[in-house]
């Protein structure tokens, strides 16, 4: 590998830094089903993992032919917030992995900026990123479009091909590659089934890890 190949590591948040995907998808599945659109938590993960709520809802409403009630976001948000405060945890080993990295780091997530801060604060990770937090709300198109990753790279004055992305979703891998970045897939979140890693590889992840304790060594080999 070329020396100093990468200059910035961009982390997704949900399912990479914090083990939030089961909580989020459980809430959406519960409220969607109550609204008359029956769907399972696993189906939501398979179809929409990595996408913003806005884009997911647009797809669901288009397929369903109905608009969700205006109270939908509030109901889902209250369920998620309550469970976050009770049980949200960091991905195992991620704090140590972050502390072991020598390159600059940032977060680029489909969540809102407020949600990103809340999740990182609850799990004790916020201080490691400072203000280097980027939300899909800051750009026109969320993942799988490259806009968010390109925005983060531009903000931190780093060329896209010098960025290494850590992602748990096919949409996130697609976005990284569309941005001309290199992606490492992560399949260690509790929402990831046995085939998840293979799906990330199929979408173009350079390699896949399922334990954050492998991250620092993996990155060191690449840079």
pLDDT of residue 51: 85
Single pTM value for the model: 0.89
pLDDT of residue 159: 97
pLDDT of residue 49: 86
Instruction: Output the six-digit token pair for 160.
Output: 């896209």
Cα separation, 24 vs 133, in Å, equals: 20
Q: Where in the chain are the domains?
A: 8-19+89-222, 21-87
Cα separation, 121 vs 57, in Å, equals: 27
pLDDT digits (tens, 9 = 90+) for 98-132: 999 999 999 999 999 999 999 999 999 999 999 99
Query: 8-19+89-222 and 21-87: same fold?
Result: no
Count Cβ atoms below 10 Å from residue 101 Cβ, excluding itself: 16
pLDDT of residue 1: 38
Cα separation, 60 vs 48, in Å, equals: 10
**Topology annotation, domain 8-19+89-222:** Rossmann fold (3.40.50)
Cα separation, 99 vs 96, in Å, equals: 5
**Topology annotation, domain 21-87:** DNA polymerase; domain 1 (1.10.150)
Residue 155 has, within 13 A of its CA and on its CB side, a CA count of 19
Pairing of strands 133-135, 105-109: parallel
Residue by residue, what is the 3-state secondary structure of the chain? CCCCCCCEEEECCECCCECCHHHHHHHHHHHHHHCCCCCCHHHHHHHHCCCCHHHHHHHHHHHHCCCCCCCHHHHHHHHHHHHHHHHCCECCCHHHHHHHCCCCEEEEECCCHHHHHHHHHHCCCHHHCCCCEEEHHHCCCCCCCCHHHHHHHHHCCCCHHHEEEEECCHHHHHHHHHCCCEEEEECCCCCCCCCHHHHHHHCCCCEEECCHHHHHHHHHHHC
Cα separation, 20 vs 24, in Å, equals: 6
pLDDT averaged over consecutive 10-residue blocks of the chain (223 residues)? Answer: 78 97 94 96 89 91 95 94 94 97 96 94 96 96 96 98 97 97 97 93 97 94 86
pLDDT digits (tens, 9 = 90+) for 34-53: 999 999 999 998 899 888 88
């Amino acid at each position: 590998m070329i020396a100093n190949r990468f200059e910035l590591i961009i982390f997704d948040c949900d399912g990479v830094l914090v083990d939030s995907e089961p909580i989020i998808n459980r809430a959406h599945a519960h409220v969607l089903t109550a609204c008359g659109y029956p769907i399972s938590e696993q189906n939501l993960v398979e179809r929409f993992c990595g996408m913003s709520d806005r884009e997911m809802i647009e797809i669901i409403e288009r397929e369903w032919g109905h608009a969700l009630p205006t109270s939908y976001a509030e109901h889902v948000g209250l369920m998620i917030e309550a469970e976050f405060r009770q049980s949200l945890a960091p991905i195992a080993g991620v704090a140590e992995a972050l502390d072991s990295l020598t390159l600059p780091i940032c977060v680029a997530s489909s969540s809102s900026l407020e949600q990103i801060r809340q999740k990182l604060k609850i799990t004790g990770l916020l201080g490691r990123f400072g203000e280097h937090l980027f939300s899909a709300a800051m750009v026109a198109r969320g993942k799988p479009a490259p806009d968010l990753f390109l925005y983060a790279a531009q903000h931190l004055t780093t060329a896209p091909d010098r960025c290494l992305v850590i992602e748990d979703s096919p949409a996130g891998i697609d976005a990284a590659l569309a941005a001309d970045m290199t992606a490492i897939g992560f399949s260690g979140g509790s929402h990831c089934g046995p085939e998840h890693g293979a799906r990330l590889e199929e979408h173009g992840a350079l390699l896949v890890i399922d334990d954050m304790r492998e991250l620092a060594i993996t990155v060191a080999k690449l840079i």
